[in-house]
Structure 1
Amino acid sequence: MSQVSVSVHALRGLTAALFRSQGLTALRAASVADSLVCADLEGVASHGVALVPLYLERISKGSVDPHAEPLVVEDHGGLVVMSAQNALGQVSAAVAVELAAARAREHGVSVVSVRHAFHFGTASYWARQFAAAGMVGFAFSNTRPLMPAPGGAERVVGNNPMAIAIPARVDEPLVVDMAMSATAMGKIRLAEANGEAIPTGWATDAAGRATTSATEAIQGMLLPAAGPKGFGLAVAIDLLCGALSDGAVGAAVRPLYGELDKPYDCSHAFIAIDAARLHGGAGIAPQVAGFAQAIRDSRRAPGTERIYAPGDLERARRAGNGEHCPIAGELAQRLNQFAADAGIPERVAA
């Protein structure tokens, strides 16, 4: 599938316009668009504007409510439970992150969990917002079951992404963003769309046999990253999101690409630590920056040109793309067609 390079400004504008046409406010539509375009700029196309068709279809079929107002259902100061009310995940995540940061400033540490939620893009997009405020930020989500227990042949837990952002230099936090599977399902769906095989070790077929077929993997199971370690972390994240929020856990989370008229109903969790207040107000950024630089300066193995600290590679991709964003040409055409169907003038050069 050929790629095209489109204007970042035009892509954000078109994406936001599509969501405004579905009833989102201008501010919320811009937030959704920014999270998706940022993923593409950082090389995470599985969480970028390729999700727009799914989001729009779920809105049209009623499983995502573009007018929903996320609300607090339990408030214990530094521990809060919210209901997303089946809003787009970026809408409820923006509310939760703002609330978590405010409560961390008050209490030092805060936890905000969210039930009745939807896909929120990359977890790092939200964790970085805490780091920009001088806080250590965590963002988690559970997903429908995609992975078996070690030795199992049945999906029992999602690959449940986690991101941690730790403030360092301005605009250069140390960022860890990972799903608990060997790869994300979105990458396998992209491989299927492109007619590509997937690497051994990513997934099994429905019977639990290793496969390099993207189609068989989608019908089968993802494999946990690092075997039982990734599986254990996935279980913990599932409960951190679902049990804390009294939301869906395990099989109660529905398939993202399944029955699109039924809510996805995942759960999220956000943790903020107000590290800026520590050490007489000096915070932790200088120590974090020093450690990150030590990683970059560490001795390289033969054939390695550069060593990246966590978060560097995504920043390098974003900087390398500049004001242009690579997306699939077919996707650009599809977005333009959505715009034409909605009667809005915004377009990208396809």
Structure 2
Amino acid sequence: MFIEKDKLVHFSNECFMKLGMPEEEANTITEVMLEADLREIHSHGFLRLPIYIERIQKGLISSKANISMINNHGATALMDGNYSAGQVVAKEAMEKSIAMSEESGLGLVAVKNSNHFGITAYYSLMAAKQDKIGIVISNVAPLMPAIGGKEKVIGNNPISIAAPSVNEPIVLDMALSNTAFGKILFHKENNKEIPADWGVDRNGVPTTNPEDIINGGFLSPVGGPKGFGLAVMAEILTGILSGGDFSKMIPSMYDTENKQSISHFMLTIDIKKLIPLEVYYSSIEKLTGFIKNSSKADGVKDIYLPGEIEFMKERANKTRGIPLEENLKEQLDELANELKIQKLIIQ
């Protein structure tokens, strides 16, 4: 089913505000979830609304942001999210990173004590929309074993790099596993099998049953040792560099007894401090031309740049409405009953 964007935005904001969250902060979280669903990254869309609400209710996420700057040295800064909503913390950190880059050419903000912040591309695109390159990394609770191991020791730590282009930005947004854990949850919620290369069960055997991964199994790193190596380096750039938690220190966001302490790495590069923007855009146009106009394999109709397919989906869904699975609608109805607010009405 599809639902009007404004209805979903109003419903989501009302859920957060019912718990005492300021409207601006509620809208930030909603905006990030909306962007995910518009781009059909449903693993990070409104599927996450119920768990965000539960964690706020249990005091694991602050209903009102309490973000502090620990230090600021011109081109680098360290921020403490103090367990505020990840989206609110990350947006403020990226705004700071962008502002710093305008002064120094580079702006690096390390963040600790944050929470799950949704799709990583949302924040890297903030820089790309201002003629800058954004690089964003986050750690998460461990979901993958070391190569040869059978214990979760490292997160599938997501990374996004967004670069401005002549039309839409070129944006990479990926977890360092073959798939995001949220996609496992999405398939479980919708009673769907998963591809066998997404993860293994508790005995290390590939599985098509999402329950096997959720209940003691593991995600598989993208590219095997290469993905595992990148995940370790991402852990260093986030949890270690910020002085925050890392690896087995971070509980799952579905552990509703313990606070998470997620760390982020936000880096902005101001292009014009290196080369004139007209030179940059001329080169980007040439690069994209080389790629888009390259010879196609048999049966291939189009060649896409990183992020291009998601932008196409976003344009389509802005017109027809936000895709919503039936079982998620039922969960949101239950949430409405619990919070005593009006249910979403599908016409």
- TM-score, normalised relative to structure 1: 0.94
Shift of 1:173: 0.6
Aligned twin of 1:70? 67
Higher mean C-alpha displacement, 317-326 vs 106-115: 317-326
Shift of 1:340: 4.3
Aligned twin of 1:142? 139
Which digits, 9 at most, give the CA deviation of each residue in 1:125-177, with x for residues without a partner? 1100010111100111101111112222221111000000001125x110000
Aligned twin of 2:100? 103
Aligned twin of 2:181? 185
Return closer, same or farther for 1:342/1:153 CA change in 2, 3 Å cut-off.
Answer: closer
How far apart, in 1, do the equivalents of 2:296 and 2:3 lie?
35
Return closer, same or farther for 1:73/1:348 CA change in 2, 3 Å cut-off.
Answer: farther
How far apart, in 2, do the equivalents of 1:305 and 1:147 lie?
36
How far apart, in 2, do the equivalents of 1:346 and 1:213 lie?
32
Shift of 1:336: 3.6
1:1-350 aligned at under 5 Å gives the runs 4-170=1-167, 172-218=168-214, 219-258=216-255, 260-282=256-278, 284-323=280-319, 324-345=321-342, 347-349=344-346
Higher mean C-alpha displacement, 334-343 vs 209-218: 334-343
Return closer, same or farther for 1:11/1:293 CA change in 2, 3 Å cut-off.
Answer: farther
Q: Which amino acid aligns with 1:121?
A: G
Return closer, same or farther for 1:66/1:295 CA change in 2, 3 Å cut-off.
Answer: same
Return closer, same or farther for 1:28/1:231 CA change in 2, 3 Å cut-off.
Answer: same
How far apart, in 1, do the equivalents of 2:169 and 2:272 lie?
13
Shift of 1:342: 2.8
Higher mean C-alpha displacement, 327-336 vs 7-16: 327-336
Higher mean C-alpha displacement, 229-238 vs 198-207: 198-207
Q: Which amino acid aligns with 2:94?
A: V
- Cα RMSD over matched residues? 1.5
Shift of 1:283: 5.9
Contact kept in structure 2, 1:36 and 1:49, CA below 8 Å? yes
Q: Which runs of 5+ in 1 are unaligned?
A: none
Alignment length, in residue pairs?
A: 345
Shift of 1:289: 3.3
How far apart, in 2, do the equivalents of 1:121 and 1:92 lie?
12
Which digits, 9 at most, give the CA deviation of each residue in 1:72-92, with x for residues without a partner? 112122111111111111010
Contact kept in structure 1, 2:144 and 2:155, CA below 8 Å? yes
Shift of 1:256: 1.5
Return closer, same or farther for 1:349/1:283 CA change in 2, 3 Å cut-off.
Answer: farther
How far apart, in 2, do the equivalents of 1:234 and 1:115 lie?
17
Secondary structure of residue in 1 paired with 2:157:
coil
Higher mean C-alpha displacement, 15-24 vs 235-244: 15-24
Which digits, 9 at most, give the CA deviation of each residue in 1:193-225, with x for residues without a partner? 222221112111112222222111122111110
How far apart, in 1, do the equivalents of 2:117 and 2:293 lie?
34
Contact kept in structure 2, 1:111 and 1:271, CA below 8 Å? yes
Contact kept in structure 2, 1:7 and 1:348, CA below 8 Å? no
Shift of 1:280: 3.5
What's the % identity of the aligned pairs? Answer: 33
How far apart, in 2, do the equivalents of 1:283 and 1:25 lie?
43
How far apart, in 1, do the equivalents of 2:244 and 2:343 lie?
38
Higher mean C-alpha displacement, 327-336 vs 31-40: 327-336
